[in-house]
Each structure stands twice: as structure tokens, then as C-alpha cells.
Structure 1
Amino acid sequence: MNVVGATELVESNSYLKRYQGEGNHVTGDSAEVMTAIYEEQINLVILQRPLSDDVEDYCQKLVDHNPNFNLRSAINHKKPSQSLKSLLPDLAGQSAFIEDLTLLLEMYTCLFDLEEVGLRLQVLDRAMCPRFHIDKLGCRLVSTYQGQGTEWLRNCDVDRSKLGTGNMGLSDEESGLYPHAASIQQVNNGAVVLLKGDGWYGNEGLGAVHRSPAVSLNEKRVVVTMDFA
């Protein structure tokens, strides 16, 4: 996957026009789809992609050998693979996993012109953010390497007055936040999602509404997130 310069692509506008009428989200299978996050009405972008067997095998070994693994680090854009090699467990398939994670880091730093990325990689046995919410930041990248992906709501299916304390102590299912269970969307395993938050300029109150999926007994998820450092 090649990363297309965000400024160049947004200025051309020809690519983004293909997605008009899709509401607040865009889905594609090419890295250039990620630049659609710069479009004003878009607050969620999904890059669909498969994971190699080696990457999936490494994630399973990580779960087996480090079931409580939790990495937080600021990664410089210049030598990300070297930093990752020193931070990740030396298990079979490590090089393939580092290559894949480095690709995501390079796309994220290129897209937002960053010197450093705040990286978090976790093995999870519970939902970290079980309620639908909006992030109070610029734009977060999330990718689930193993397990169920992030759940989200389209703008047309969410009553934002029911977020946070507006739920009046009721669950997401009971509060009227969304009309019915079929409204809940879910990102595929391996896909990359960009979630525009309230911290994005001009986007206050309009961030992507999302939550972590419920985790079944004995289920493990391997999730990576990236933020502006």
C-alpha cells in the first residue's frame, strides 16, 4: 500500500467526490481512502485489508506467552522498526508483525505530518471502553489484529444527547442512543479505522461515536491504537 500525500489529494478533490452521499463515513481497500478524514463531513474512515498468516500467528503467540501485554510508547517516525524490535517480544513471526505495524505508523505519520506517534498495543480480555462515546482528541487510529473490531454508529443513527450523562444512568441499549440493534456497525478484524474526535478543529460535538466490543469468556483481543504524540 502506498501512502498518498494528504494535502495533494484533498486539494484535487476528485477522489473524495466518489464518496459523496455516504454520510459521515468512508470505506475502501486502498490506503488513499485514509485522506478522506480531511473532508469536513467525514468523521470515520475504514481501510479494509487482510492480515498475513505470519502476522496472525505472531498475535496468537503474543496472547499465549504474554496474556497481559500492554505497550505504551512514543515512536519516532525516522526509525520505527528499530524501536518496535526492542519493544516487542521476540517470538516467531515478529519481523512480519513489525513490518505490518511499521506500515501503519508510516501511513499515520504521513497523513498528519507527525514527528512522533503515541502507540499503544494491548492484549485485552475485556472491553476497555464498553459505552458508546466520542474521543476528546484529534484523530485516533485503531486496528484490531485479533478478536472483534471496534463498534460504531452512523451519524444518522445516533442521538448525541444520550451520550455521557445524557443516558440518565441507562445502558446504551436502553437509553435511546440508537434506534435498534441493527444500527450498530462493526469494523472487520485487521481493518484500520480512523476516528475523528472532538479535538479536531471545527469538529466539537461531532466526533465519531464508537465503543469497544464485548469480550466473551476466554476470548482475547490484540488491539493497536495511535494518537498524536
Structure 2
Amino acid sequence: MPPSALPASLAIDHAASDADISVLPRIFEDEITIAIMTRTLPADIVMSAQAQCTRAWQFSWLGSPDETMHKDLRLRLPSPDAADALIEDVQTLAEAVAYLFDTETVGIRLRHLDQTMCPRFHCDNLPVRLLTTYLGPGSEWLPDTAVDRAGLGAPIPGRPEALTDASAIQRLQLGDVALIKGSGWEGCETRGLVHRSPPMAAGDKRLLLTIDPA
């Protein structure tokens, strides 16, 4: 598969982006803090995701991404009869995380959101996380050149803004699969990826999947 047409992130030296899944292992490179597999969601996954967004709900799982997880997710979804394509994609991504990070246990959260979850730019205090959005706007992230890390954390008097250049904000597109390093990644304690939930207008909906190797 040829490389995708890339946004401004192409020029960001700590970001890797491509339409092929082979880009995801680049997260193991020391300088890379975000690896993005760009993709266009197939219509069946889009329709399956839309069918689940009729009410507020969330699904959490800590364990193996196996048939038990598959069955539990189906039971928790609002429209299980329309869930096949979404469940298969979640399981495929969870299995990929387990394989890539050589673990049998993953932490999965699939959430239907109707408001911004984490509006401030921040860095996760964990080694690595997979993100993808099935409905609504994708997560936003910053190149290192647009971050004042002294501004990270809860707002307090005298603390500067973490964002230094609003024009540099990057956004994952619908369906993109990203692996992001947090401050818990060895050697990345002071340079984990800074990101946030996207702003959402009244009436917006978002279906977000996160997967953490455990």
C-alpha cells in the first residue's frame, strides 16, 4: 500500500504517519512519540458505530482480547444486532496491541461521549496508548515546538498556557489509529505526546476507543 497524503505532521520529526499498519511499530523508535495509521473507515463500521450512539454508555475491559471480551462487549452495546463490524474492529485492534507489546492483557475503553472529556492539553502518565475515533471529531495533539511543558497540569495562578502556537494543532481524522507515548515510557519521561479531546459543539456525539497494554 502506498504512503498516504500526509498533513503537516509529515514535517514533525517525532511523528510517523502512513496508511500501512507497518507504521505502528515505529512507536518503538526513540524519537517517535506518535505513530498514526491513517485509514478510511469502511461503511459497515461507520453504520455499526452510528447504531450504538442512541444513548450514553461506556464499556471497560481488562484482560485478554478473546471471545469472552467479544461476548461481553456485545452484551453492553445499545444495538447488539448492528454491532458485528464495530466489535470485529475493536477486537482486531486489541489483538494488535497485545501482539505488538507482547502481552496477554489489555485495558479497553469504548465510550460514547456527548461532551469534551479532557479539554486541556495534557500528557498521559502511562507508557503507551492506542486511540481511534469511530464517530465524531478525532483527538488533537501538539508537536513539541508548540508546547510549553511548564503549562501542563491543572490550571493554577501563574502557570503559563501549554499551547504556544494554535496554528500548530494537529487532529487525528475519523478512523485513524494512533499509538501515543506517555511519560511512563522509559526515556520519554519529559517528552510524552501532548494531546487533548477535541472541542465539541452542543449535539455532537463521539465514539472513542482507547487500548492500553497491561
TM range (shorter): 0.7 to 0.9
Instruction: Tell me the secondary structure at the aligned position of residue 63 of structure 1.
Output: coil
- Distance across 2 between alignment mates of 1:94 and 1:181: 38
Matched, 1:145 2:123: no
Matched, 1:184 2:173: no
- Distance across 2 between alignment mates of 1:151 and 1:62: 24
1:201 to 176, 186, 191: 186
Give 1:82 deviation, angstroms.
Answer: 4.1
Give 1:176 deviation, angstroms.
Answer: 4.2
Instruction: Return closer, same or farther for 1:165/1:100 CA change in 2, 3 Å cut-off.
Output: closer
Are the aligned partners of 1:197 and 1:208 in contact in 2 as well (CA < 8 Å)?
yes
Give 1:217 deviation, angstroms.
Answer: 0.3
Where does residue 55 of structure 1 map in the other structure? 45
> How many pairs were matched up?
206
Give 1:119 deviation, angstroms.
Answer: 0.6
Instruction: Return closer, same or farther for 1:56/1:40 CA change in 2, 3 Å cut-off.
Output: same
1:31 to 12, 21, 25: 21
Are the aligned partners of 2:132 and 2:178 in contact in 1 as well (CA < 8 Å)?
yes
Are the aligned partners of 2:121 and 2:163 in contact in 1 as well (CA < 8 Å)?
no
- Distance across 1 between alignment mates of 2:112 and 2:25: 29
Are the aligned partners of 1:69 and 1:122 in contact in 2 as well (CA < 8 Å)?
yes
Letter in 2 for 1:58: S
Matched, 1:69 2:57: yes
Give 1:23 deviation, angstroms.
Answer: 1.2
Question: Which deviates more, 212-221 or 93-102?
Answer: 93-102
For structure 2, list consecutive stretches of 5 or more residues without a partner in the other structure: 2-9
Instruction: Return closer, same or farther for 1:75/1:56 CA change in 2, 3 Å cut-off.
Output: farther
Give 1:96 deviation, angstroms.
Answer: 1.1
Are the aligned partners of 1:28 and 1:47 in contact in 2 as well (CA < 8 Å)?
yes
- Distance across 2 between alignment mates of 1:113 and 1:88: 29
- Provide Cα deviations, 1:35-85, integer angstroms capped at 9, x if missing partner: 010001111111111111121112211112xx2111111141343534433
- Provide Cα deviations, 1:96-137, integer angstroms capped at 9, x if missing partner: 111111111111111101111111111101111110000000
Are the aligned partners of 1:140 and 1:195 in contact in 2 as well (CA < 8 Å)?
yes
Give 1:92 deviation, angstroms.
Answer: 4.1
Instruction: Tell me the secondary structure at the aligned position of residue 73 of structure 1.
Output: strand
Instruction: Tell me the secondary structure at the aligned position of residue 118 of structure 2.
Output: coil
Q: What does residue range 1-229 of structure 1 map to in structure 2 within 5 Å?
A: 22-64=12-54, 67-79=55-67, 80-165=69-154, 168=157, 175-229=160-214
TM-score (norm 2): 0.87
TM-score (norm 1): 0.82
Are the aligned partners of 1:150 and 1:211 in contact in 2 as well (CA < 8 Å)?
yes
Instruction: Tell me the secondary structure at the aligned position of residue 207 of structure 1.
Output: coil
Are the aligned partners of 1:54 and 1:93 in contact in 2 as well (CA < 8 Å)?
no
Instruction: Tell me the secondary structure at the aligned position of residue 80 of structure 2.
Output: coil
Instruction: Return closer, same or farther for 1:78/1:72 CA change in 2, 3 Å cut-off.
Output: closer
Letter in 1 for 2:14: N
* Percent of pairs with identical residues: 37
Are the aligned partners of 1:77 and 1:114 in contact in 2 as well (CA < 8 Å)?
no
Instruction: Return closer, same or farther for 1:167/1:24 CA change in 2, 3 Å cut-off.
Output: farther
Letter in 2 for 1:39: E
- Distance across 2 between alignment mates of 1:38 and 1:57: 34
